[in-house]
Amino acid sequence: MKICIISGNLGSNAFGRAWILAKAVQLNHEVSIVGTEWGKGIWSVADLTGLELKSVKGDLLPAYRKIFRETVDIVEGDIIYAVKPKLSSFGVGLKAGKKLKVPVVLDIDDDETAFTEGFWNCWKPNSLRDPNAYLSTRLMESRVDKADALTVISEYFRNKFGRGIIIPHGRDTEAMDPDKFEGEFEKRKRGYEGLKLCVFLGTPRKHKGIEKILSAIRILNRKDLKLLIVGADSNNSYIQQLRETGGNDLILEPPRPFSEIPEWLSIADVVVIPSESGAQSRGQVPAKLIDAMAMGRPIILSDIPVLRETAGESALYFNENDIGQLAVMVEQIIDDAHFADDLGIKARTRCIELFSLKAMSNKLNGIFHSVTKAAL
């Protein structure tokens, strides 16, 4: 079968979910990606080797009406797999599915309305013209039942929409193998020799709780301990704020391609993911958590149900409001190599079992065969 994956935004980390789904689908089927570029080009960190990609340039309404039709026209396949309940993905998918008479599967991995401006701001001119703003996103969420099947990232979204098969983020656990990388060598190569590094990998956002890591580092007051953020886009205004508050405790590296993620994680003495339990984090499973698990890193997480659901007993958990507790855990890991190694082994073992690309692909294969059979 040929599976057409539709991404509503190719230019940001929102493309990450579509990309990893494509890599998993590719193990068993022919796959293509159709998506919209919103003035930023293709997300620079995505490795598109071996993937067929068709893109269109996005624009605001009313110009988007023509772009919508153009996008529908380049969709082809036996099954359409739309990522996120957005007009430029699920809306396109429903229209193309009706045109081609093929099943449409929808994937949900974020609470999308929480990322829009909200009802009271949706009357601003640009929001009214944005095809993926609050009102259109609410409309698309109201049509979730039109999908022939629904996949979700976590139990939260299955409860919210009343159905859905959980498809976690998957990773190539053969390529992401800690035994293939020597952390101290990678540190020396980058000029970080002698440092203990708390690594945050990904796009920094306010709701991701990065200031909590900096606060914990300040409590410990160790010259050898730094927070390294890999994914710090200089155009991100939040980065400037972090730079001002982080001072000498903070090291910033720009976004890196997916192929370099294992190298950067190999230098992490500890990975902290201090997600906050707000609207934008509801049900969200950070891909960087699966990356860290694949690379066998010791991990500390906010004590949020969806994170426990993912990492189980392979991580430490702190009360998201208790920075002192976080500081104690960080120091315990960086000063006890045996304890850190034990956590890392548990994380990688769990990742191979539950979050490998192969495991992800097998679940998707069952879904595709089911919707194809139902359509006959």
Number of other residues whose CB lies within 10 A of the CB of residue 89: 29
DSSP string computed for 46-114: ---TT-EEEEEE---TTHHHHHHHHHHHH--SSEEEEESS-IIIIIHHHHHHHHHT--EEEEE-S-HHH
pLDDT band at 44 (very low <50, low <70, confident <90, very high): confident
Distances, alpha carbon 198 to alpha carbons 216, 247, 330, 346, in Å: 11, 15, 8, 19
Burial class (CB in 10 A: 0-12, 13-18, 19+), 60: middle
Tens of pLDDT, residue by residue over 71-126, are: 999 999 999 999 999 999 999 999 999 999 999 999 999 988 876 655 556 656 67
Distance of alpha carbon 20 from alpha carbon 261, whole angstroms = 14
Question: Which strand (E) or helix (H) includes residue 344?
Answer: helix 337-354
Residue 121 DSSP label: G
DSSP output for 278-301: SGGGTT---HHHHHHHHTT--EEE
The full set of domains in the chain, from first to last, is: 2-170+357-375 (3.40.50.2000), 178-354 (3.40.50.2000)
What is the model's pLDDT at position 82?
Answer: 98
> For the segment 251-282, what is each residue's pLDDT rounded down to a tens digit?
999 989 888 999 999 999 999 999 887 666 67
Cis? peptide before 62, omega within 30° of 0 = yes
- Whole-angstrom distance between the N-terminal and C-terminal Cα of the chain? 14
- At 112 the pLDDT is 86
Q: Which residues make beta-bridge pairs with 33?
A: 5, 53
Q: For residue 19, what are the contacts with CB-CB under 8 A and spacing of at least 6?
A: 7, 33, 43, 46, 48, 51, 258
Distance CA 309, CA 312 (A): 6
User: Rounded CA gap, 114 and 106, in Å?
Assistant: 19
Longest Cα–Cα distance of the chain, Å, equals 65
3-state SS, 46-60, equals CCCCCCEEEEEECCC
Average pLDDT over residues 220-242: 89
Query: pLDDT averaged over the chain?
Result: 92
Q: What is the pLDDT of residues 290-349, one digit of tens each?
A: 999 999 999 999 999 999 999 999 999 999 999 999 999 999 999 999 999 999 999 999
Q: How, if at all, do strands 79-83 and 316-318 pair?
A: unpaired
Q: How far is residue 190's CA from residue 193's CA, in Å, rounded to a whole number?
A: 8
